[in-house]
Amino acid sequence: MTIYQALDMGTNGSVSRGFEANERQQQVIDFNALLEKSDPDRHMAALFAEPALRGRLFTLYAFYHEIARVPDTVSEAVVGEMRLAWARDAVADLFATPPKVRRHDIYEALSELRDTPGCPDQQTLTALIEARSADLGQGPFASEEDRRDYVDRTAVTLMRAAATLLKPDLDINGEPGAAIMAAGRLWGFVGLLRAFPALCEAGRPPITEDELAASNLTQMDLDRGRNPERVKAALAGLLEEATEARLMLSRTRSSLPADVFPAVGYACLSNGYLKALREVSDPFREQVDRPLTARQWRLTWASLTGRI
């Protein structure tokens, strides 16, 4: 059964919580291949973790990938809601007494994490699922606060969960937590900017209603890829928020213990993406990316110096 097959078929069976060692190893290999292709920057950072912890990160990221892709694989919002509801129920089953594990690679892997120190709890996993419901809607964000909340509930929540998985005693409420929030927001804002063409095509532009109006743009302009200069003006606020998050990360990054680098290190790649994004002349048609070798070297340098 493939990684997505059970969800598509609506399977809701259960299995015991045990895995043979070779099955667990094969599962990590499968998640490794999935993330290397679908989430390469998080994947590269996770490779800095020792093997056992790396496998746990891969499980968390595979779960996140599975729920994040739902809005892009359905033609109707109601179908997307049904799939997210399935995911919520599957997570609830994992934390039931006794636990039930659905026949799905990801939830079987999550069952192996359930009792490990720092494992994301039911509330965290459910919050990540709920956050993806916003992707089933249409139109711009209602406000900057709404956009920031979206980033906090997705990129920041995931980064917190990953960091805690690596260091269960991490002070999330102290300065390390502030650094993780800054890193997560930086990554989330940059991600929205990089995904601008695809988000517009999907009817979910990452700008606010006020930014749209102030730039004298309409939803039809975004749907048809018109007026790129006005669109650049509309994106200025999002670029500014990303810059503010980067500055906050620079002020707080020294508080992050080396243990959590595999969970947060990929945020260091945002600086290169931001520089490229500022030079874009047509946000609709220019895809922002960085050479793989440049990203590998930047991550290695960050791991040695702590300069995320």
Q: In this predicted structure, what is the pLDDT of residue 30?
A: 82
Q: In this predicted structure, what is the pLDDT of residue 238?
A: 98
131 and 143 part of one domain: no
Where is pLDDT greater, at 287 or 154? Answer: 154
5 and 58 part of one domain: yes
193 and 257 part of one domain: yes
Write the pLDDT tens digit of every residue in 25-46.
445 448 999 999 999 999 999 9
Q: Cα(116)–Cα(108) distance, rounded to whole angstroms?
A: 14
Global pTM? Answer: 0.89
**For residue 75, what pLDDT band results from cuts at 50, 70 and 90?**
confident
Structurally, the chain folds into a number of domains equal to 2
Residue 245 near residue 186 (C-beta atoms within 8 A) = yes
Is residue 217 predicted with pLDDT exceeding 70?
Answer: yes
**SS3 readout for the chain:** CCCCHHHHHCCCCCECCCCCHHHHHHHHHHHHHHHHHHCHHHHHHHCCCCHHHHHHHHHHHHHHHHHHCHHHHCCCHHHHHHHHHHHHHHHHHHCCCCCCECCCHHHHHHHHHCCCCCCCCHHHHHHHHHHHHHHHCCCCECCHHHHHHHHHHHHHHHHHHHHHHHCCCCCCCCHHHHHHHHHHHHHHHHHHHHCHHHHHHCCCCCCEHHHHHHCCCCHHHHHHCCCHHHHHHHCHHHHHHHHHHHHHHHHHHHHCCHHHHHHHHHHHHHHHHHHHHHCCCCCCCCCCCCCHHHHHHHHHHHHHHCCC
The domain boundary residue, chosen from 135, 153, 170: 135
**Domain region containing 251:** 138-308
- C-alpha distance across the termini of the chain, in Å: 39
Write the pLDDT tens digit of every residue in 221-264.
999 999 999 999 999 999 999 999 999 999 999 999 999 999 99
Q: Within 10 A of 289 (CB to CB), how many other CB atoms are there? A: 10
162 and 225 part of one domain: yes
Residue 95 near residue 114 (C-beta atoms within 8 A) = yes
Is residue 307 predicted with pLDDT exceeding 90?
Answer: no
131 and 187 part of one domain: no
Least Cα distance to 151 among 92, 82, 208 occurs for 208
Q: Which tokens hold the place of 150?
A: 């979206």
49 and 159 part of one domain: no
Write the pLDDT tens digit of every residue in 42-68.
999 999 999 999 999 999 999 999 999
Q: In this predicted structure, what is the pLDDT of residue 303?
A: 94
The domain boundary residue, chosen from 135, 151, 183: 135
Q: In this predicted structure, what is the pLDDT of residue 29?
A: 47
188 and 126 part of one domain: no
Is residue 93 predicted with pLDDT exceeding 70?
Answer: yes
214 and 305 part of one domain: yes
Residue at 120: amino acid letter: P
Taking every pair of C-alpha atoms in the chain, what is the biggest distance, in angstroms?
A: 60
**For residue 306, what pLDDT band results from cuts at 50, 70 and 90?**
confident
Phi/psi at 15 (5° precision): -135, 170
Say which CATH number the domain at 276 has: 1.10.600.10
148 and 123 part of one domain: no
144 and 225 part of one domain: yes
Write the pLDDT tens digit of every residue in 104-133.
999 999 999 988 999 999 999 999 999 999
Q: Cα(265)–Cα(306) distance, rounded to whole angstroms?
A: 9
**For residue 17, what pLDDT band results from cuts at 50, 70 and 90?**
very low
Residue 141 near residue 237 (C-beta atoms within 8 A) = no
